[in-house]
Amino acid sequence: MRNSLAISTDRKSIAVFDTSLASQPLPISRRGVLISVLGSDVCAANVTAELEDHIAELLKKTKPFYSFSTASPERNQLCVSYNEASNTVFVIGITDIDVGFAGPVKVPEASTTVFGAKLKEKPGGSLAGSKVILARLEGSVGAEWSIRFYYLPA
């Protein structure tokens, strides 16, 4: 799982798996978590209060590219992975998995959603990416909550 992030089954945190394979959970909140690339590794950090106004301005100009429901966490999986060779961050959501199967089963394409995003101009070309992905919890009281993903300038 090196170079990947996984959303916890309770949808309350993102676990970062770095080169040492140590898990570092970051709480998902309405502020969100910024996902970027540093060197050849995916990394993440919580949005701080100091960044909140800047992020709010950026969000006025963009819409989420993906919305993942927090309902039925036992049947859904969400992860983020970076591949240095293709210089692409992949956001992979799998929904409606039948948890009762006993052997290898192909997951239907209708249950899988994959987005790819370039955060650096080229692999190995820079230390940090010029773009980031913001993952944040959005919803309202009485409504279904979702983790929404935005593609933003760094």
Which pLDDT belongs to residue 149? 93
The most confident of 35-44, 59-68, 79-88, 141-150, by mean pLDDT: 59-68
Domains in the chain, number: 1
What is the spatial distance between Cα 82 and Cα 93, in angstroms, rounded to a whole number?
Answer: 15
pTM over 0.85, yes/no: no
pLDDT computed for residue 1 by the predictor: 44
- Measured CA angle at 34 (ends 31, 39), to 5 deg: 165
For residue range 72-99, list pLDDT tens digits in order: 767 778 888 888 888 899 999 888 766 6
Mean pLDDT across 52-76: 88
The per-residue pLDDT for range 108-143, each reduced to its tens digit, is: 788 889 999 998 877 766 677 789 999 988 887 666
Q: Hey, how many other C-beta atoms are within 10 angstroms of the C-beta on 2?
A: 12
Distance CA 61, CA 71 (A): 28
Look at 75 and 57; give whichever has higher pLDDT: 57
DSSP character at residue 141: T
Q: Which domain holds residue 138?
A: 4-153
Residue 134 to residue 131: CA distance in whole angstroms: 10
Query: Residue 9, Cβ neighbours under 10 Å: how many?
Result: 11
Task: Give the whole-number percent of the chain exceeding pLDDT 70.
Answer: 82
Residue length, the chain?
154
